[in-house]
């Protein structure tokens, strides 16, 4: 059984505020999803900023100066929290 940490201010990346730094806390998905995101440099502890989010399109994020497009379904499985250290 997988241990899950409970944070009160967690939300999916798909709902994160535009222009504010957030830290990836957990990826709710299987090994394939976690591996795909890791190859893009997205794993727990990574700080990203949402640059663009449209109703039926990808979520465009910035990670260390690199823009990455993540599909809405994937973005719903990436749980983030505000990151005050980079604001």
Secondary structure (DSSP) of 17-28: PBTSEEEEEEE-
Residue 30 structural domain: 11-86
The parts of the chain modelled with pLDDT lower than 70 are 1-8, 86-87
Tell me, rounded to whole angstroms, the distance of Cα 32 from its chain centroid.
16
Rounded CA gap, 4 and 56, in Å?
Answer: 29
Show the CA angle centred on residue 61, arms to residues 87 and 4, nearest 5°: 80
Q: Does a structural domain hold residue 15? A: yes
Q: Does a structural domain hold residue 57? A: yes
pTM: 0.86
Which pLDDT value is given to residue 86?
67
What CATH number does the domain containing 27 carry?
A: 2.30.30.90
Residue 54: phi and psi, rounded to 5, are -120, 160
């Amino acid at each position: 059984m997988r241990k899950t940490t409970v944070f009160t201010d967690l939300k999916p990346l798909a709902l994160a505020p535009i222009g504010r730094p957030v830290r990836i806390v957990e990826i709710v998905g299987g090994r394939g999803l976690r591996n795909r995101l890791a190859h893009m440099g997205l794993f727990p502890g990574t700080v990203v900023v949402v640059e663009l989010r449209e109703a039926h399109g990808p979520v465009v994020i910035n990670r260390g100066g690199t823009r990455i497009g993540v599909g809405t379904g994937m973005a719903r499985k990436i749980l983030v929290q505000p990151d005050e250290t980079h604001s």
